């Protein structure tokens, strides 16, 4: 492959016309002949840029509503021909195939069509055929052909042509070829994923995941691990689509924890009142509602002030000045909220290292979606846990019925437990967590840890007794034995919410009755390993 290869002829066929005219003028000024089709040709010609129609080269008109225009040997031959192969050059001469040195193509907006809720026929019509075919051909022949698939690469292309006096280097062509194959791969992934959903195929034969780089990261979970952050194009409100207003770039762990915080706080709809979630290492260390956002933050903070230091704060309403002042009293890594008023942003501005992210709204936690996890030699794919339990779903299994206040706390605890690493135990009182036990190998140990945290906070706050006294407790899965339940009772819990379904349910229910507890079953569990 030669290093330098001159660009004498370009083929331009773009769906996204951003920057098209400036690019066309720049290529024309460099003496590069432009071939084009359809709307791209029309736009260039109307701007006074000389264009040769692809139909003139192929001697075939565009047909079938534009479905057939570039699928022709004179186009693909011009892209694929090896310029240092005498047989290829002879074939080009014999069949009138012009060499194409530069291909500029971006694809029909399939992903955008799906995101906008296009029906089946509309989505199908927005599947590009000629574009990917040309891109793949040009990328394969990157020894001689430069292929550009992204508007963002136009300046780099023109700079390269200037630097190399109308040519491009092999390294430049290689880089763009890799980008091109990644683009067609992502495009095909989007199509196949959409079709699997449209055809209700829960487990298609092949599953492809694609993403677009959002940022490179200094490192991953640990300094010896390289990392990057990619967007999947779903535009779901959250860390991937948020606007960062200040602070240094997010780290791998920041992104992971901020996502966990925002997904949790999104469970609490703003119309039902303010809510705050404080997250550390992807687990909640405090979640609460309040009459104001500041009160919700204060109550969440009081659950575990030690763990909240250096944590992530997520809010379900627009950040205001009072809440901003409270948050800045301790070191906080990230705050994410569906907006922030000017006064709050001014307060945060004095804390240069505090990241502030705002979103377009809360995530729809009931919406379907997929979750992925890598394992050795493969990956696990499952539905996102979008399970929701209401009062109507609860089954009271004890002699004592829970009170209205207990029911509210039980559902609050259940919602939080969904976002706690298993085995999860969550104590709640008056719509605020007062003890959280996460990620233990034994549910009994989670109950013990949560209660101990509550005791420690009571001592620190000068309370006469832990707030677990009179609390509701949630378990993300069933109690396999009565010992975990009894530990919760010893901590002061008076009501329990759990999935049920254990072989020993009768034993656990009997223990609850003996202790005077009210207990409800959900029939749903929330393992979060």
Tokens, residue 274:
């303010």
Half-sphere exposure of 245 (CA within 13 A, CB side): 23
CB–CB of 481/510 below 8 Å? no
Residues 114, 120, 126, 128, CA torsion sign: positive
Three-class SS of residue 404?
A: helix
Distance CA 368, CA 385 (A): 8
Q: In terms of Cα–Cα distance, which of 242, 248, 319, 302 is closest to 453?
A: 302
- CB 95, CB 118: distance < 8 Å: no
Gap between the Cα atoms of 113 and 324, Å rounded = 39
Residues 436 and 426 sit within 8 Å (Cβ to Cβ)? yes
* 422/437 Cα distance (integer angstroms): 9
Find, among 415, 407, 484, the residue nearest to 443 by Cα. 484
Which residues are CB-neighbours of 245 under 8 A, at least 6 positions away?
Answer: 340, 345, 348, 356, 357, 358
Structure tokens at 215: 């940022």
Cα torsion 319, 320, 325, 326 to 10°: value is -60
Catalytic residue among 245, 248, 280, 281: 281
Q: Quote the tokens at residue 513.
A: 């009755």
d(CA 237, CA 169): 41
How far is the C-alpha of 437 from the C-alpha of 303, rounded, in Å?
A: 12
C-beta separation of 133 from 71 below 8 A:
yes
Using CA atoms, how far apart are residues 8 and 505, in angstroms rounded to an integer? 78
Instruction: Determine whether 281 is an active site residue.
Output: yes
- Residues 80, 83, 88, 94, Cα dihedral to 10°: 100
Q: Is 429 a catalytic residue?
A: no
Which one of 140, 245, 351, 452 is the catalytic residue? 140
Longest distance between any two alpha carbons in the chain, whole Å: 96
> What is the C-alpha to C-alpha distance for residues 425 and 284, in angstroms, rounded to an integer?
11
| Burial zone of 479 (CB within 10 Å; 0-12 exposed, 13-18 middle, 19+ buried) | buried
- DSSP codes, 333-355: EEEEES-B-HHHHHHHHT-TT-E
CA distances from 180 to 36, 112, 114, 163 (A): 19, 19, 22, 22
Cβ–Cβ under 8 Å, residues 400 and 393: no
Report the run of H or E that residue 479 belongs to, with start and end: none
Catalytic residues: 140, 281
């Amino acid at each position: 492959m030669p290093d330098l290869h001159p660009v004498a002829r370009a083929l331009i066929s773009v769906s996204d016309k951003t920057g098209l005219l400036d690019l066309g003028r720049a290529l024309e000024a460099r003496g590069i002949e432009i071939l084009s089709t359809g709307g791209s040709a029309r736009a260039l010609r109307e701007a006074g840029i000389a264009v040769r129609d692809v139909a003139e080269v192929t001697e075939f008109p565009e047909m079938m509503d534009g479905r057939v225009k570039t699928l022709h040997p004179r186009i693909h031959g011009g892209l694929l021909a090896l310029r240092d192969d005498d047989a290829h050059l002879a074939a080009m001469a014999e069949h009138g195939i012009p060499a194409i040195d530069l291909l500029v193509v971006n694809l029909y907006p399939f992903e955008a069509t799906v995101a906008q809720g296009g029906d089946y026929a509309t989505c199908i019509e927005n599947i590009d055929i000629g574009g990917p075919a040309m891109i793949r051909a040009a990328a394969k022949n990157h020894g001689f052909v430069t292929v550009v698939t992204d508007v963002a690469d136009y300046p780099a292309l023109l700079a390269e042509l200037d630097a190399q006096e109308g040519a491009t280097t092999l390294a430049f062509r290689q880089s763009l070829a890799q980008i091109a194959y990644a683009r067609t791969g992502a495009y095909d992934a989007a199509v196949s994923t959409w079709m699997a959903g449209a055809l209700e195929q829960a487990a298609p034969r092949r599953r492809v995941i694609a993403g677009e780089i959002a940022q490179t990261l200094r490192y991953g979970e640990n300094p010896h691990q390289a990392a990057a952050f990619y967007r999947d194009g779903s535009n779901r409100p959250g860390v991937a689509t948020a606007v960062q207003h200040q602070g240094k770039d997010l780290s791998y762990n920041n992104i992971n924890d901020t996502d966990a915080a925002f997904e949790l706080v999104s469970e609490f709809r703003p119309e039902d009142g303010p809510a705050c979630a404080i997250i550390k290492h992807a687990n909640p260390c405090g979640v609460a509602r309040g009459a104001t956002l500041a009160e919700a933050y204060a109550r969440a903070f009081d659950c575990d002030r030690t763990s909240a230091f250096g944590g992530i704060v997520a809010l379900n309403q627009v950040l205001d000045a009072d809440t901003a002042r409270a948050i800045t009293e301790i070191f906080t890594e990230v705050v994410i909220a569906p907006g922030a008023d000017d006064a709050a942003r001014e307060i945060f501005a004095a804390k240069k290292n505090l990241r502030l992210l705002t979103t377009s709204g809360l995530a729809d936690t009931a919406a379907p979606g997929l979750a992925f996890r890598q394992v050795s030699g493969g990956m696990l794919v499952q539905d996102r846990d979008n399970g929701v339990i209401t009062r109507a779903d609860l089954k009271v299994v004890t002699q004592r019925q829970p009170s209205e206040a207990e029911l509210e706390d039980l559902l609050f605890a259940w919602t939080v437990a969904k976002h706690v690493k298993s085995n999860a135990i969550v104590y709640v009182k008056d719509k605020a967590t007062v003890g959280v036990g996460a990620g233990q190998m034994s549910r009994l140990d989670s109950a013990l840890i949560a209660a101990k945290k509550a005791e420690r906070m009571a001592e620190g706050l000068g309370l006469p007794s832990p707030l677990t006294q009179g609390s509701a407790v949630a378990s993300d899965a069933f109690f396999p034995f009565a010992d975990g339940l009894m530990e919760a009772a010893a901590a002061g819990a008076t009501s329990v919410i759990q999935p049920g379904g254990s072989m020993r349910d009768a034993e656990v229910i009997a223990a609850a009755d003996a202790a005077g507890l009210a207990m409800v079953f959900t029939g749903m569990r929330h393992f979060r390993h």
